[in-house]
């Protein structure tokens, strides 16, 4: 078996970050400029395709031969580029070093993983690359100085081109070094196969209703123009979209005894609208700001940018993007973060947008912006002659944590009626579940049970309850009263409470003493590769997959208790730094990771059954297929496959529900 490490430098007039790799590659002017490679770890060679060099015939054969494993840092890109010229290359022959790094808990980018792994300077990604990519890989603005050209070729700056070739060469050096450093912590074969399936799902894409998209953009533009003109008339401002100008005007127009406005964030505008002293002008300006602040058309703009010539958008999923848990993340349109659809008569709303009847939309639905925001989901549609089948795991995290903690009363709920919020309230407040039904005063307890279930599973407290109470049902309760709910929930869920403490104790044990520790079906271990100096704590899941915590340490928290920390990428800043964790957070990581593995198992079953998935969101799959029976039968078959018992999770009670339709929605 040979190993061929590859890195490509390419050109396309399509902006890859906005439109996605598939549309970028599909562009008529797409071209491979440089092809750098190393065979079996040997010296890196660069083939200068832009200057007329051609690939050796043995590389043609190697790209399709099972005797050559192809490696690349973001292998889905190289696979897509080369598939354009050689036909769809077998995904099973490719290995993604980026995915390997993510599996082991490292950052996604080649630029970031080098310092995190402690690579020496000569093995890191060359920092000059971004400027060279801007020069050779994207269109340039025509100027008098450059003769009006819209693209830079090698002959326009031979010195830069030589630097670019060295940059291309260095990327292969860095990729191979990353792979070598991580070789003691291999990716399991079944995780590799999931990457291959994900590659095909992303390449398959999903159909888009372009008429709806264009109608929404036109209606949204008209609405914004009208709202801005109204804001100008009321305020006299040249640019009422300017936050600074608007804050200044609002402060001057507000009552003297009102607190000074310093922010116009979404939450702050909602709060300001509640002031009784607002004049009609101030109130209307705030309402307009609220409408303009909606991001409905931004999603439509993203769809318009990334939809391919055949009316499908591709590359919506990022495999293994969430550090440690390995969950998928969204890309481009961000299907993981779309507004819900609460509108009644969705077909009517969609038709009004398609025919650009803005006045009718306002008359029927009130807020045009809110209506457009809710309809963005429905822009994803079935292919002609097909239907979408949507199936969603029911309360998957609650089921997994109950199974992991052996919380028997909760497992029995999931095996039977499934009314977890009512059952939780019954356990907490000692009220028979039969009384917690609509129409009875006890039904008010259901909301407290719901908030508690959503907020407290990972060692949350009063603050978590307040944050999760989006319906503001707990506003009238004091913190002591909310704490009473927290205490009751923990007493009713003693198995889950003990799980937090067992998780933290196991982590402390292996970090301090090495070796292994068991918590239920989980194995904690301290793993070390002395050759590369990589030290980590791992948690092996029942699926066999591991979660990695790099360079674990024990310190002391603000209460003087032992504190666990590890090196990781901070979610907000993307900086590599030390991150603290604790029993509840470790439990959250594990539960979400197991839920992710349940979804991956279901995806494999559905694909094997000939049910092509076009994308998935959290614990929900969306299938685009020819109808072969009535809708009820189709849905039953899909949900039955989702409920299949999982060999590595005996006794985990799974359930799934869904719908069949022509467009994506959220029931």
- The 3 state secondary structure assigned to 446-464 is HHHHHHHHHHHCCCCCHHH
pLDDT at 15 exceeding the cut of 90: yes
What integer is the mean pLDDT of 635-661? 95
pLDDT at 447 exceeding the cut of 60: yes
Lowest mean pLDDT among 35-49, 56-70, 567-581: 567-581
- Each residue of 364-389: pLDDT tens digit? 988 888 899 899 999 999 999 999 99
- E-strand stretches of 144-213: 206-208
> Is the backbone of residue 557 left (phi > 0), alpha (psi -120 to 50) or beta?
beta
- Each residue of 592-627: pLDDT tens digit? 999 999 999 999 999 999 999 999 998 999 999 999
Confidence band, pLDDT 50/70/90 cuts, at residue 290 = confident
Specify which residues 578 forms β-bridges with.
Answer: 567
Confidence band, pLDDT 50/70/90 cuts, at residue 264 = confident
In angstroms, the Cα distances linking 431 to 81, 238, 416, 424, 426 are: 62, 60, 19, 10, 5
Match 């291999």 to its residue by tokens: 186
- Each residue of 512-564: pLDDT tens digit? 999 999 999 999 999 999 888 899 999 999 999 999 999 999 998 877 888 99
Query: If you write DSSP's letter for every residue of 317-379 in order, what string do you get?
Result: EETT-STTT---EE-TT-GGGPPP---SSHHHHHHHHHTT-HHHHHHHHS-HHHHHHHHGGGG
Q: Quick one: which of 309, 374, 366 has its CA closest to 339?
A: 374
Q: Are 86 and 63 in contact (CB under 8 A)?
A: yes
What integer is the mean pLDDT of 406-415? 94
pLDDT at 344: 82
For residue 507, give every residue at least 6 positions away whose Cβ sits within 8 Å of its Cβ, in sequence order, or none.
524, 537, 552, 564, 581, 583, 586
Q: Quick one: which of 77, 619, 216 has its CA closest to 392?
A: 619
What radius of gyration do the chain's Cα atoms show?
28
The whole-chain average pLDDT of the chain stands at 91
- Integer Cα distance of 36 and 63 in angstroms: 14
- Each residue of 167-193: pLDDT tens digit? 999 999 999 999 999 999 999 999 999
* Chain centroid offset of residue 624 CA: 21
Confidence band, pLDDT 50/70/90 cuts, at residue 296 = low
- Each residue of 324-368: pLDDT tens digit? 899 999 999 888 888 888 888 899 999 999 999 999 998 998 888
Report phi then psi at 183, rounded to 5.
Answer: -60, -25
- Integer Cα distance of 95 and 76 in angstroms: 9
- Integer Cα distance of 184 and 563 in angstroms: 28
Confidence band, pLDDT 50/70/90 cuts, at residue 294 = low
- Each residue of 123-144: pLDDT tens digit? 777 777 889 999 999 999 999 9
């Amino acid at each position: 078996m040979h190993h061929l490490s590859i890195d490509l430098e390419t050109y396309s007039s399509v902006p890859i970050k906005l439109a996605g790799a598939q549309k970028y590659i599909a562009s008529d002017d797409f071209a491979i400029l440089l092809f750098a490679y190393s065979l079996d770890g040997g010296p890196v060679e660069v083939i200068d395709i832009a200057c007329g060099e051609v690939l050796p015939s043995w590389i043609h054969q190697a790209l399709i031969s099972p005797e050559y494993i192809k490696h690349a840092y973001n292998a889905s890109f190289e696979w897509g580029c080369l598939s354009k010229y050689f036909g769809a290359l077998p995904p099973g022959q490719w290995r993604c070093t980026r995915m390997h790094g993510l599996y082991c808990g490292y950052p996604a980018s080649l630029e970031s993983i080098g310092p995190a792994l402690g690579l020496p300077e000569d093995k890191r990604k060359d920092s000059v690359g971004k400027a060279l990519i801007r020069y050779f890989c994207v269109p340039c603005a025509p100027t008098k100085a450059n003769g009006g050209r819209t693209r830079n070729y090698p002959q326009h700056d031979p010195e830069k081109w030589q630097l670019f070739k060295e940059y291309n060469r260095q990327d292969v050096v860095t990729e191979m070094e990353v792979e070598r450093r991580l070789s003691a912590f291999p990716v399991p074969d079944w995780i590799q196969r999931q990457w291959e399936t994900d590659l095909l799902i992303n390449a398959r894409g999903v159909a888009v209703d372009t008429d709806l998209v264009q109608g929404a953009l036109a209606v949204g533009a008209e609405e914004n123009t009208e709202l801005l003109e109204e804001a100008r008339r009321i305020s006299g401002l040249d640019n009422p979209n300017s936050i600074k100008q608007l804050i200044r005007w609002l402060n001057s127009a507000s009552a003297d005894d009102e607190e000074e406005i310093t922010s116009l964030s979404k939450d702050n505008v909602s709060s300001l609208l509640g002031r009784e002293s607002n004049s009609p002008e101030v109130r209307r300006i705030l309402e307009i700001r609220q409408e303009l602040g909606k991001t409905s058309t931004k999603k439509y703009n993203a769809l318009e940018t990334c939809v391919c010539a055949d009316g499908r958008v591709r590359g919506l999923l990022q495999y293994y993007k969430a550090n440690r848990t390995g969950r998928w993340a969204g890309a481009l349109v961000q299907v993981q973060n779309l507004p819900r659809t609460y509108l009644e008569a969705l077909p009517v709303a969609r038709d009004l947008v398609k025919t650009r009847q803005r006045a009718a939309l306002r008359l029927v639905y009130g807020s045009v912006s809110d209506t457009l925001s809710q309809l963005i989901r429905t822009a994803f549609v079935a292919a002609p002659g097909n239907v979408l089948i949507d199936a969603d795991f029911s309360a998957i995290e609650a089921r997994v944590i109950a199974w992991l903690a052996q919380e028997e009363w909760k497992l029995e709920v999931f095996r039977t009626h499934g009314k977890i919020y009512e059952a939780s309230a019954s356990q907490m407040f000692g009220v028979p579940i039969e009384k917690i039904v609509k129409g009875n005063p006890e039904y008010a307890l259901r909301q407290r049970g719901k908030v508690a279930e959503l907020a407290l599973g990972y060692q949350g407290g009063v603050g978590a309850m307040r944050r999760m109470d989006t319906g503001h049902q707990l506003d009238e309760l004091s913190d002591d009263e909310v704490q009473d709910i927290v205490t009751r929930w923990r007493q009713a869920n003693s198995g889950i409470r003990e799980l937090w403490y067992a998780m933290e104790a196991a982590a402390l044990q292996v970090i301090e003493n090495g070796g292994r520790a068991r918590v239920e079906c989980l194995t904690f271990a301290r793993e070390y590769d002395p050759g590369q100096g990589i030290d980590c704590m791992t948690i092996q899941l029942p699926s066999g997959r591991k979660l990695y915590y790099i360079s674990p340490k024990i310190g002391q928290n603000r209460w003087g208790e032992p504190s666990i920390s590890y090196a990781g990428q901070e979610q907000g800043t993307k900086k590599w730094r030390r991150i603290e964790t604790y029993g509840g957070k470790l439990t959250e990581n594990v539960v979400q990771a197991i839920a992710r593995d349940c979804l991956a198992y279901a995806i494999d079953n559905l694909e094997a059954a000939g049910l092509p998935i076009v994308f998935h969101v959290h614990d929900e799959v969306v299938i685009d297929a020819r109808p072969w029976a009535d809708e009820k039968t189709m849905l039953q078959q899909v949900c039955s496959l989702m409920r299949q018992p999982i060999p590595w999770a005996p006794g985990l009670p799974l359930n799934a529900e869904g719908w069949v339709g022509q467009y994506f929605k959220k029931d």
